Structure formats: structure tokens, C-alpha cells
Amino acid sequence: MENPEIEVIVATMHDKAPVCLADFKDAPQNVALTIINQSDKEGEVFKDNVRWINTKSRGLSKSRNIGIKIATSNLCLLSDNDVFINFKKLGFIAPMINKEDVGCVVCGNISDVGFNTNKLIFLNYRKALKVCSWQIILNRKRVKDIYFDERFGLGSDLNNSGEENIYLTDILRKGIKIIAIPSKLIDHRDSGTGGIIDDNFYRVRINVFKRIFGSFIGYMIYILFLLKKKIEMKDISLSLGIYYLFKD
């Protein structure tokens, strides 16, 4: 289909086939699939109606931005190579999403990872901090010129997460609406790097909050974040968290 209604853009590396690839053969005609393959080669190839974009660039945010820029559809579902996708459901709901006056739609996940809701809601800053990038369906016409901050995200030099939270809050800051829907279009079963508590966990959270809210408010929110996480997770160290707040 020359102008698909929605395009799934999957990030992968070194030719690893995404798990959603097997189900794409049954996808409706209004859904396209593009794979951003970070490898040791450059170029574009088509295999079984799937577009592979090979790039020597590194970093998840760079992969996302390449996908957004080269997409042929207005609607794009961002995804990773370990995410299962209900293509039939996605194709069915795409026309309805296209009619919404919003910049992004956050879809539900079958597994209990990421952000889920039992009704349609508008996202604010607080809720945007709970979303994972592989849940985001973006409307390119409404979020044009807004891209992922490539200093953040897996594969970046210092900050291995938080890129999706920054991206969504950048959209909200422009006055563009974001909604979350209860439709569970994907299945991502792994929490990824988000559950790892190490020294980098504290550094990254400080940098993410500073990037979103500025230094003073960002520091205040980081302290509240630590207190909340200390109640939820016994591995959180308040003393270590405060140490990194003043270390840099």
C-alpha cells in the first residue's frame, strides 16, 4: 500500500528479526512495517513487504528519530524488536486515531509493564513520566519538528533511559494534547532497564528531571521521586540518591 494509514517503526540491531515479524503477514492493508536496523551497513531494502532501513548510527533515540523522519504514514507506532503487536486491531483502530485532535496516543500493553488505563484519558506531565516509548502512536502532522533528545535513551553515552518521558513532555509543553486509550494493541513482557537499581539509576533520574523541569524544580521532584520509590522498592537508597544529587 503506497500510503498506509499507520506505520509500525521497530528498532533493532545487527539484523535481529523483531518478534512481530511473523504476525505481519496477516496485517491489514492499511498497516505498514518499517525496521530501523542499526548495524555495520547503510541503505534501504524491502523483504516480504517489510522495509528495512540499515544505519551505522547507534542509540535508541537516534533510531526513533530516523524512523519518524523517513515514515510514509502520518500515524506511527514506535516499537522494539521484543514487542508483539496485534496488527489487525491496530489497523481497525487507526482511522479513529487519525480523527483525534491529539499529537500522541498511548496504547495499552497486555502485560503489566508500562502505562495502562481502563478508559480514555488525557495525559499530564505526571502520567507522561510513566509511559514507555514502545506504547507511543504519534501523529506526525501534529508533532512535527519535535524529536527524541539523543542525549537520552539506551545506547546514549550517559543516560540510558527517560527519552520517552522527555519526548512526551516536550509535546505537552507545546500545548499539544496526548491521550491514553484502554485498547491493548501490544504485548511487551520485559521491563527492560527500568527495574535495574545501580549508580546510573540515580544519575539518569536527576538528568531527566532537570531536562524536563529545570534545575530547581527538577531537584525537588527528584527528591519526591526518591521518597515514593523508597516506599515501593526496598533496593532504593535515599543516602545514595541524595549523594548523586550533589556529586555533580
The per-residue pLDDT for range 57-91, each reduced to its tens digit, is 999 999 999 999 999 999 999 999 999 999 999 99
Residue 194 pLDDT > 60: no
pLDDT band at 48 (very low <50, low <70, confident <90, very high): confident
pLDDT band at 191 (very low <50, low <70, confident <90, very high): low
| Contact status, residue 139 vs residue 36, Cβ threshold 8 Å | no
Cell of 238: 535515599
Rounded Cα distance between 39 and 25, Å, is 25
Which residues share a beta bridge with 33?
8
Calculate mean pLDDT across residues 178-192: 89
The full DSSP string for 98-112 is HHS--SEEEEEESSS
pLDDT band at 92 (very low <50, low <70, confident <90, very high): very high
DSSP-derived letter for residue 201 is H
Residue 32 pLDDT > 90: yes
| Contact status, residue 5 vs residue 30, Cβ threshold 8 Å | yes
Calculate mean pLDDT across residues 1-12: 88
The per-residue pLDDT for range 200-211, each reduced to its tens digit, is 899 999 999 999
Residue 195 pLDDT > 80: no
Calculate mean pLDDT across residues 15-44: 96
Rounded Cα distance between 65 and 16, Å, is 20
Cell of 143: 508533532
φ, ψ of residue 181 to 5 degrees: the values are -120, 155
Q: What is the pLDDT of residue 190?
A: 76
Spatial CA neighbour of 12 closest among 32, 42, 37, 29? 37
| Contact status, residue 221 vs residue 206, Cβ threshold 8 Å | no
The Cα-based distances of 118 to 85, 121, 125, 182, 244 in angstroms read: 19, 9, 19, 5, 37
Residue 113 pLDDT > 70: yes
Rounded Cα distance between 24 and 193, Å, is 27
Q: What is the pLDDT of residue 203?
A: 93
Predicted TM-score (pTM) of this structure: 0.93
pLDDT band at 105 (very low <50, low <70, confident <90, very high): very high
Cα 177 to the chain's mean position, in Å?
17
The per-residue pLDDT for range 119-174, each reduced to its tens digit, is 999 999 999 999 999 999 999 999 989 999 999 999 998 899 999 999 999 999 99
Spatial CA neighbour of 33 closest among 15, 51, 11, 47? 51
The set of residues, in sequence order, having a beta carbon less than 8 Å from that of 223 and lying 6+ positions away, is 242, 245
